[in-house]
Structure 1
């Protein structure tokens, strides 16, 4: 299947992937984490100029910042409508889990993989995936770095590695720690085990989607996963004094 994938949960990324052959036909990754609008149009135009025609659009639904997520999801929906192909959503951190699993294929990777991304406000978005098949074990969550351990403890029975449910002090002892959150808060969360796996990449989002489809799991709708309320609030309605 030819999948067009888009993720703007952290840095923006666009890819066209043949998931049957494993070929990345085209991929573009932004270096700037905030200029999603400026990046997404030219990147899509370049990727869609390839001869291969996408059969499915997959967008990363976050969690991530409000504006960034909307840019990527709206772009994906626009392409789907223009080309009359379905648009589906998948958690953005699944792309990092997929990248890890593909990098360790044939190895001895096992146990939980903790992925933490920058949520701004001095917080992180985090999820736990299984190292064997990139399946989601728990999350996504959002919390201050110092509170991640408590959240993991509360969900320890879901995460449970070979040593049993995680204890409060075990965050930095998790075998694999991936994502930009560990680069930002190593003193609290521990250093990342693979510094190159920091942000979701669209090509791995496509492969993650193909894995979900092959496993018989349905992809979600292209609805953003925010995890918290927006900063902007609607102005209160004022009653007119005119009669």
Structure 2
């Protein structure tokens, strides 16, 4: 089972041996919590797979906004614990790059709000002779203004992701992470490491400070 809530797309899909059996994607950045588990259950039903039959959970670990990303990470951790299966956290930008055809370096960028983007750059397949290693990240993930990214210096020839149209480059690949991309990245990493979200910056919400003392 592959999950991602790093963008407004709430994604759940079942993949077996590199084949997508079922997928549910709902676009609503304000309802990650309400939509994710129904998507998981619908994807399992369509694939003819019961939750206890899953071998692993793969989840996009961001970068992404705090609230939405946390929904996917917590859900994946809970499923893994309940089912007794490993949980693989992978960079969501890597998952987009993994299924984006590009004859050269690729830029992947998604919306970070505040007029900024989350982004990373990847090398083209010729950099490693198509040896089945998948794309490799050259730099990132970072967060910043789109205009601050040195596209020419990175030698990128195309862009993918929800903010791909901001750079004057050909747009290639999916706008959001796909189940196939998530699983492909997890397969490259092998044994899962600690499940840690890539927030890249602090959440807007902060604990309240001490109350000011009022003297008569």
Structure 2 counterpart of 1:224, from 183, 193, 197 = 197
Q: CA deviation at 1:110?
A: 4.2
Which residue number in structure 2 is paired with residue 61 of structure 1? 61
Q: Deviations over 1:71-102 (max 9, x none)?
A: 111111111111111112100011111111xx
Q: CA deviation at 1:178?
A: 1.0
Which residue number in structure 1 is paired with residue 36 of structure 2? 40
Which residue number in structure 2 is paired with residue 175 of structure 1? 157
Distance, in Å, in 2 between the alignment partners of 1:147 and 1:231 is 23
Q: Where does 1:226-241 land on structure 2 (aligned, <5 Å)?
A: 226-238=199-211
Structure 2 counterpart of 1:9, from 6, 11, 22 = 6
Q: CA deviation at 1:221?
A: 2.3
The runs of at least 4 aligned residues of structure 1 exceeding 6 Å deviation read none
Which residue number in structure 2 is paired with residue 113 of structure 1? 106
Distance, in Å, in 1 between the alignment partners of 2:94 and 2:193 is 13
Q: Where does 1:135-154 land on structure 2 (aligned, <5 Å)?
A: 135-149=136-150
Aligned partner of residue 89 in structure 2, secondary structure: strand
Distance, in Å, in 2 between the alignment partners of 1:233 and 1:38 is 24
Q: Where does 1:153-232 land on structure 2 (aligned, <5 Å)?
A: 167=153, 174-183=156-165, 185=166, 189-194=167-172, 197-213=174-190, 218-232=191-205
Measured on the aligned residues, the alpha-carbon RMSD in Å equals: 2.2
Distance, in Å, in 2 between the alignment partners of 1:128 and 1:71 is 26
User: TM-score scaled by structure 2?
Assistant: 0.84
Aligned partner of residue 175 in structure 1, secondary structure: strand
Contact 1:24–1:203 (Cα < 8 Å) also in 2: yes
Distance, in Å, in 1 between the alignment partners of 2:195 and 2:171 is 31
Q: CA deviation at 1:114?
A: 0.7
User: TM-score scaled by structure 1?
Assistant: 0.75
Which residue number in structure 2 is paired with residue 74 of structure 1? 74
Aligned residues: 202
Judged with a 3 Å threshold, the aligned counterparts in structure 2 of structure 1 residues 68 and 91 are, in CA distance, closer, same or farther, namely: same
Q: Deviations over 1:158-209 (max 9, x none)?
A: xxxxxxxx53xxx6x62121111123x3xxx214422x52111223211221
Q: CA deviation at 1:51?
A: 2.6
Asked whether 1:31 is paired with 2:27, we answer yes
Aligned partner of residue 27 in structure 2, secondary structure: coil
